[in-house]
A and B are shown apart, each in its own frame.
Chain A
Amino acid sequence: MKENPRLRAVQAVRRELATLGIDPFGIQIDEILSPTVGLIQGRRTILAGTNNYLGLTFDPDCIAAARDALERAGTGTTGSRMANGSYAAHRELELDLARFYGKRDAIVFSTGYQANLGMISALAGPGDTVLIDADSHASIYDGCSLSGANTIRFRHNDPDDLSRRMGRLGSGAAGALVVVEGVYSMLGDRAPLREFVEVKNAFGATLLVDEAHSMGVLGEKGRGLGAELGVLGDIDYVVGTFSKSLGNTGGFCVGDSDEMDVLRYASRPYVFTASLPPATIAATRMALRKLAAADDLRRRIRENAERLHAGLTALGFRLGAPANAVVAVLAGEKVEALRFWHYLLEQGVYVNVMVPPATPGNESLLRCSVSAAHTPEQIDAICATFAGWPGARG
């Protein structure tokens, strides 16, 4: 069959990885033994690259809720909510989320990716302007593409740069949509949300914040960075995911707008995707209750993050941001980073490797995500394994 020219670049990367004998993007966990341990290539491996921040994937109450829903309501919904009907639990989860954030209403999407895609493309269209942080997740970039709006990128975590770019829009700034994240997935760095809120208020714009990596981890009751900084009320739309702290899959948006119920019908990713299955909804509702009460888990994830951050710093590694649930080791050149990642895996530690252009600053990263379920001994074992690699020190 003729080679598809559009796949040449990806094919070249796959061939390069095959030459190195390293395949970080096709890793298979043969058996998942706990939130922090899996069997990979026949080895018991500490999982430090899963985003399972609160370790709720094996929570007995969440499993029981899922099992009960599975038996009562079946395996799947077999259609989209608009075309084929919502189950009562879909709406109940939306009301749970709205109450949790103290917002007027919520919309549940089938993935976190689709939540950004769905919200951005429903809020903005051709002729509108969306301003996004340069280090935004692919779902934000793709949401902008789907919207057809004029998309302007401002320098990462730089409210002054946002302000300058909004100033260039003149009267158009008032109708613009600004999109940032609470915590950035690559480096684990936090956004200056207070300052971003000041800019959006000054121009009368709309602010959407993706709290995927901060929900459950930061703020009172785990309501994210906006809550921690006291600006949740000034954020027009909070987008989040069920696939990190809530230990499941799915996404959502909460907001105070009177148009929340109209937005869902204007959102093609909402309208044309099958809705989440009953077991997922039930387990997520249970996990949300647990998350709100999980101050002990938040303390543990903070302690684990600080332990890992301090341990890796003491070993001489350069880290991407202050201690947070995401701890990123700056790993320099791509091939060296891939070899470093492979070494860690062979020693029984699974982390994520990220290479340019997916990384900020044109440098490769080894990205660890810390869980409240990690024991101090596992964190020390991760550090000891990193210590065995001779390179990548500052």
Chain B
Amino acid sequence: MTHQDVVAQLAKLLEPHAEGRVTHITADTGLTGELALDSLKVMDLITDVEDHYDISVPLNSLADIRTVGDLASLIQKHVGNDA
């Protein structure tokens, strides 16, 4: 599972939340910046991510996550750890 695979999956999960603000979600797209997700939406996204990859992503590991790419890296780390 490459970083780009995870970014592509996240883009699918994020599309309904983009509400036209961002037409093409990439690794550089900001979660709370360009996508303007509030804290609750970010946490809901993490719940979906956990179920999709069957991993645990603690909320306290999100402090430094700014972009879709940052989140993809975190997911890769957890998939590696939990595998």
Contact residues in B for A154 (Cβ distance below 8 Å): 47
Q: From DSSP, what is the main secondary structure of chain A's interface residues?
A: mixed
Q: From DSSP, what is the main secondary structure of chain B's interface residues?
A: helix
Q: Is the CB of B60 within 8 A of A145?
A: yes
Range, interface on chain B: 10 to 19
Q: Is the CB of B82 within 8 A of A144?
A: no
Q: Is the CB of B54 within 8 A of A168?
A: yes
Contact residues in A for B43 (Cβ distance below 8 Å): 134, 153
Contact residues in A for B58 (Cβ distance below 8 Å): 129, 150-152
B16 vs chain A, min Cβ distance (A): 12
Given contacts A134-B47, A153-B46, contact A168 B40 (CB under 8 A): no
Bound Cα distance from A288 to B56, whole angstroms: 41
Partner of A153, one of B41, B47, B54, B82: B47
Q: Does A26 contact B (CB under 8 A)?
A: no
Partner of B56, one of A144, A145, A149, A169: A169
Contact residues in A for B50 (Cβ distance below 8 Å): 152, 165, 168
Residue of B nearest to A168 (CB): B56
Residue-by-residue, is B44-80 near A (CB-CB < 8 Å gives 1, otherwise 0)?
Answer: 1011001100111111110000000000000000000
Contact residues in A for B46 (Cβ distance below 8 Å): 153
A372 vs chain B, min Cβ distance (A): 33
Beta-carbon contacts under 8 Å, A325-369 to B: 356-357, 362
Q: Is the CB of A144 within 8 A of B59?
A: yes
B3 vs chain A, min Cβ distance (A): 22
Q: Is the CB of B59 within 8 A of A168?
A: no
Beta-carbon contacts under 8 Å, A138-169 to B: 144-145, 148-155, 164-165, 168-169
Q: Is the CB of A357 within 8 A of B82?
A: no
Q: Is the CB of A151 within 8 A of B39?
A: no
Q: Does B38 contact A (CB under 8 A)?
A: yes
B39 vs chain A, min Cβ distance (A): 6
Bound Cα distance from A165 to B58, whole angstroms: 11
Q: Is the CB of B60 within 8 A of A151?
A: yes
Contact residues in B for A151 (Cβ distance below 8 Å): 58-60
A-B contacts, 14 listed (Cβ < 8 Å): A134-B43, A144-B59, A150-B58, A150-B60, A150-B61, A152-B56, A153-B43, A153-B46, A153-B47, A154-B47, A155-B47, A356-B38, A357-B39, A357-B40
Given contacts A152-B57, A153-B47, 20 further A-B contacts (CB under 8 A): A134-B47, A144-B60, A148-B60, A149-B60, A150-B56, A151-B60, A152-B50, A153-B59, A154-B47, A164-B51, A168-B50, A168-B55, A168-B56, A168-B82, A169-B56, A356-B38, A357-B38, A357-B39, A357-B41, A362-B40
- List of 4 A-B pairs having minimum Cβ-Cβ separation, nearest first: A150-B58, A357-B40, A357-B38, A151-B59
